[in-house]
Structure 1
Amino acid sequence: MTEQAPGGFDVTRPNVARMYDYYLGGKNHFPPDRAAAERIIELSHGYVRDAVRENRAFLGRAVRYLAAECGIRRFLDLGAGLPTQGNVHEIALAEAPDSLVTYVDNDAVVAAHGRALLEGDPRVRFLQGDMRRPRDVLAAAEEAGFTLDGPAALLLVSCLHFVSDEEDPAGLVAAYRDLLPAGSHLVVSHVCSDLLPDTMAQAGAVYGNANAPFEARPGAQIARFFDGFELVEPGLVPLNEWRPGDDPVPPRGGFLPVLGGVGRRP
């Protein structure tokens, strides 16, 4: 990515999607993104990079589970950010080539770059849209070919902590739930404040200068996002504990302050 964004978009302010790309070792970021990300790396003693890698691994396991074991063929990834390493569509299409994947992000630069990266595969779409408007998002997705004529997967991975309490994230998830067919699944990962409240508050101050706020939340509040869903085993747990496979690697710090889970709508 060049230092000049298309269309005159402001690239002087840190962007959470590009910061995430930086944590993962990608190349799609600008100096303000790198500076803010480095401050978060400093606050976390480098563990944020472990957390985002675990987040991608959790996402991959969840998508693989839904495609291979649950027969899900529609994946809606909200607040998707850039389609970087461990893409949803790569995992879903490898398990089920008839899958349809739609990414949604509200950042115009991210959406434009995402469309450019994904151009050429009719099974994959990248839309610009505000996840805080469920009916508008689903209408746009349906217009792009994402039909809700059967169970779908709603992915809210590492994005709800960028929705403020004033915007009622639990109510937002409930609105999507009520629009999804029975048998649909919800995938959530969210930073948890229970063990590191001071560090999380400092991180929130850094993100206060970015394009979205950051609010780590207590585990009990994160669990509310699954109201109306049946949690799949092992429930809402640290990401590295969600179906880790036969040879799990424990986090360097001894714990991972990010929770994840998958729920099914009855």
Structure 2
Amino acid sequence: MVDEQRPSKELDVGRPNVARMYDYYLGGKNHFPADRAAAEKVIEISQGKVRDAVRENRDFLGRAVRFLAREVGVRGFLDLGAGLPTQSNVHEVALAAAPDAQVVYVDNDPVVATHGRALLATNPRVSFLEADLRRPDEIFSALPATFALDRPVGVLMVSCLHFVPDHEDPWGLVAAYARALPSGSHIVISHLGSDAFPSEMAEGRKVYGAANAVLEARPRASILRLFDGLQVIDPGVVPLNEWRPSPDALPLGDAFLPVLGGVGRVP
């Protein structure tokens, strides 16, 4: 939990932070007043849908990791733009499915870095890199020696590419990771869509404009382009709650979720 009375000098607590806003949506404790105020604006704009979206995002992430560990045999997971630790972290899900799995978290946020170092100290199968997902060459060169790239791995780009603006070419970024991965690797992507609620997305973008990263919700066609060159796993790129849902999954409070997700295999 963050200490609001004595925040770290390295943190900008007066500016909303997307990782801390996400933590607030999930009901976590790692946020400051500026984060809560911005998050509440987004909750109001979305009429509460953002909270459904982030919970479904976490559930999708867990299902995708279990699928890769159990059904595909992936043992190395690279979680890009990992965000703040919360319940059912990637390493918890992966190690429960495959005790010999290894997870490397990557984030360039100082709050996340602090928690990442704590994870690093408690589990030898978990590592943390303070790095920018937009620099794949630097990330691959900094991976632990024990993280094997001679066999398929899973790269998780969950709820992070909509913070990469068009001029930084998120499509080329995904392609760069795919080129660096061995055949049979998988890339997991979730991304906020703009088709169904364009006016609400535009209002939400204004809120995030004052935060540490701009929100770029995109139309479905642009999200599908992220999977170019990958073999998309069934059921395709779909609303998160439709991607291999658990048999006991509860129905959404709203009938439609404006976040798409999918898993692509590197040929």
Shorter-chain TM-score tier: over 0.9
Alignment of 1:76-87 (within 5 A): 76-87=78-89
- Which AA in structure 1 matches 2:252? P
Match of 2:179 in 1: 178
AA aligned to 1:235 is G
Which amino acid counterpart does residue 99 of structure 2 have in structure 1?
Answer: P
Q: Which stretches in structure 2 are left out of the alignment for 5+ residues? A: none
Residue of structure 1 in register with 2:137 after alignment = 135
Structure 1 residue aligned with 2:97, among 83, 95, 98?
95
Question: Counterpart in 2 of 1:29?
Answer: 31
Contact 2:119 2:126 in 1 (8 A): no
Aligned to 1:74: 76
1:124 aligns with 2:126: yes
Residue deviations 1:146-196, cap 9 Å, x none?
231210000000000000011000001111110000000010000000100
TM-score normalised by length of structure 2:
0.96
- TM-score of the superposed pair, with normalisation by structure 1: 0.97
Partners of 1:66 and 1:8 lie apart in 2 by 37
Distance 1:113 1:6, change over 3 A: farther
- Which stretch shows the higher mean deviation, 44-53 or 249-258? 249-258
Quick one: distance in 1 between partners of 2:129 and 2:192? 25
CA displacement at 1:117 relative to structure 2: 4.4
Q: Is the 8 A contact 1:5 1:109 kept in 2?
A: no
Matched, 1:234 2:235: yes
Q: Which SS does the other structure have where 1:240 is aligned?
A: helix
Task: For 2:118, give the aligned amino acid.
Answer: A
Moved over 3 A (4+): none
Query: After alignment, is 108-117 or 208-217 more displaced?
Result: 108-117
Question: Aligned to 1:188, what secondary structure does the other structure show?
Answer: strand
Q: Secondary structure at the match of 2:262?
A: strand
Conserved 8 A contact 2:49-2:254: yes
Distance 1:82 1:172 in 2: 23
RMSD: 1.2
Aligned partner of 1:44 in structure 2 is 46
**How does 1:150-161 map onto structure 2 within 5 Å?**
150-161=151-162
Instruction: Give the 5 Å matches for 1:194-233.
Output: 194-233=195-234
Shift of 1:240: 0.3
Q: Which runs of 5+ in 1 are unaligned?
A: none
CA offset digits 1:109-162 (Å, max 9, x no partner): 22122322452211001211010001001111245x323121000000000000
Given that 1:6 and 1:109 are in contact with CA atoms closer than 8 Å, whether structure 2 keeps it comes out as no
Give the CA deviation at 1:7: 4.0
SS of equivalent residue, structure 1 residue 48: helix
Match of 2:167 in 1: 166
The aligned residue for residue 260 of structure 1 is 261
- Corresponding residue for 2:252? 251
Q: Is residue 104–residue 127 contact of structure 1 (8 Å, CA) maintained in 2?
A: yes
- Would you say the 8 A contact 1:82–1:110 is kept in 2? yes
Question: Amino acid of the residue matched to residue 157 of structure 1?
Answer: V
Distance 2:68 2:108 in 1: 25
